[in-house]
Amino acid sequence: MNRQGLTDFDREVLSILLSSGGWNASARSRLAILAKRYGVSSAGLSRVASGLAAAARSGRLQQHIASMRATAAIGGGAPARAARASAGGAAGTSEAPPTRALTKTDVILLGIVSGLLLVSAALATMLVLMIVPSLDRPDSAAANAPTSAPASASSDGARTSAAGAANAGDATGGGAPSGSSFADRAAANRAATAPGARGGPSSGPGAAAGAPTVPVSYPRVPGFRATLASLELDQALAQARGAAFALESIANEAPNDRGAIRAWSEAQRSVGRAWPRLDAVTRRALLDRSMSLLRRVDDSATAEALIEPFRADLAAAPRSPGEIWRGAWAAGMLGSLLSEPGLAPEVVAVIAGQRIAPAEGAGDAFDRFAASWLDRQLPAITELVLSGSPQEDFDRFEAWIEAQRQLRPAAEAQEAWLRAIDSLLHRPLRFDLPGTAADVLGRLASLVEWRGAQPGGASAARRWSRWLGDSSISAPRLWAFGSIVHQGRMAPWFDATMIVPERASMADREALV
């Protein structure tokens, strides 16, 4: 507050408080809109509120309040005052009638407004101090100091989502991604927008890099909970555990026997529907017994008959958890067979007709071929989002996630989650609205290890930079995705200044890299 009196913004704040009858829901909503229009941050609004409260206590606002009330009486009451304030400034200051003495009602209202302004200013200041991450400390990245923000990753056993456990996962710390400039830039952004800094934050398009963006406000951190529990799965799991005995029995018969082939097909489909839920020892035993039988095949007719159930599962659309798991099992089995030395040419010729390929990375042939098949299903799985019930979408993604976890070490699994997010971001979906699309995106984001000190953390930072520069991903989708990461407190180095504005241009996005 200066000696010349109130600024336009000060007068509009006071006008809104008077026209709203004090500090209430209507006043808060209108003040938020006003601050956004003026490009004033929450900290700036807090300073204005503190100044007005001090002026009210000292009696310096008597003339302004009396002038506003007199002008409002001429102009038609509170609705007219509100309309004029929203249209472009304070209620008439150039044609105000002579100042009159304050009534008893004015004094009471002034006291209420002053007290509430003080309370709101204190609360706003406390909130600003609480949300500043530990990156404000120069040595936070180097020391990798633990933060109070809980991680959003779910445990394998619980298989919970960001919706149910975004803030109940492993309490972990971590600094900014190694090798990135995100931490330094975020700290600089906070300094640039701190109280007393020159310039003010903005959330509009074309805003300077470092200006905090108004994020999407979800009623909860988007995510979902899917346990994949069903009677069908329980039955498949029981049959899969007994398949080892069936395969041993088949191995004692001629491979081309019709009864043996039928029993073989049933055993493979049972295992395929449930293999991610089997323990590693049982799964290895089933794989070894299957391979021992296939190695004995030396004619194309028998090879065709034994490979037929795998061919059918590879061709099926990934519409259910069972189809996703059966396809991955089929790809892993055929990949293992193809990797066998000394395999009969007739069998190689049959397998060569299937479109399978190994993924790069660690693991045996089964793991790499099965994981590669799962990766190639991402476009089809994301294409099915919103095609049916939300639970169907959740179950498909949870089945895909569970299978990937069984096949890949942690660092490679991180790349799989990022590829899934990439596939979703390229789909024309409304992630800014609460619902299935946002929940799927939130679930995948909760799996990503965003901290550079952990496996895959640096990859997440690099992928984020790539998304910012990808013109095929719209700004509203990145706005929503950044809001999910920020609201879920998933990345210590990701603050509000890094959220892409809803209408950001490519130049705005590149400034965030």
Complete DSSP assignment for 453-506: TSTTHHHHHHHHHHHHT-TTS-HHHHHHHHHHHHHTT--TT--GGGSPPTT--H
CA 451 to chain centre: 15
97 neighbors 74 (Cβ within 8 angstroms): yes
Task: Tally Cβ neighbours within 10 Å of residue 409.
Answer: 13
pLDDT at 211: 54
Helices (H), 132-181: 140-143, 162-165
Per-residue pLDDT at 408 = 94
Task: Give the tens place of pLDDT for each residue, 47-59.
Answer: 777 677 667 767 7
H-assigned helices in 156-219: 162-165, 182-192
Neighbours of 179 (CB within 10 A): 9
- The C-alpha atoms of residue 193 and residue 206 are separated, in whole angstroms, by 16
Domain boundaries, the chain: 8-131, 223-376
Which parts of the chain sit beneath pLDDT 50? 1-4, 72-102, 107, 121-181, 183, 186-210
Cα separation, 112 vs 106, whole angstroms:
10
Element at 281 (helix H, strand E): helix 280-294
Please report the sign of the dihedral spanned by the C-alpha atoms of residue 422, residue 426, residue 427, residue 428. Answer: positive
Q: Is residue 324 a contact partner of residue 318, using CB atoms and an 8 Å limit? A: yes
Task: Give the contacts of 124 (CB within 8 A, at least 6 positions apart).
Answer: 42, 43, 45, 46, 49
pLDDT in tens, 372-429: 999 999 999 999 999 888 999 999 999 999 999 999 998 899 999 999 999 999 999 9
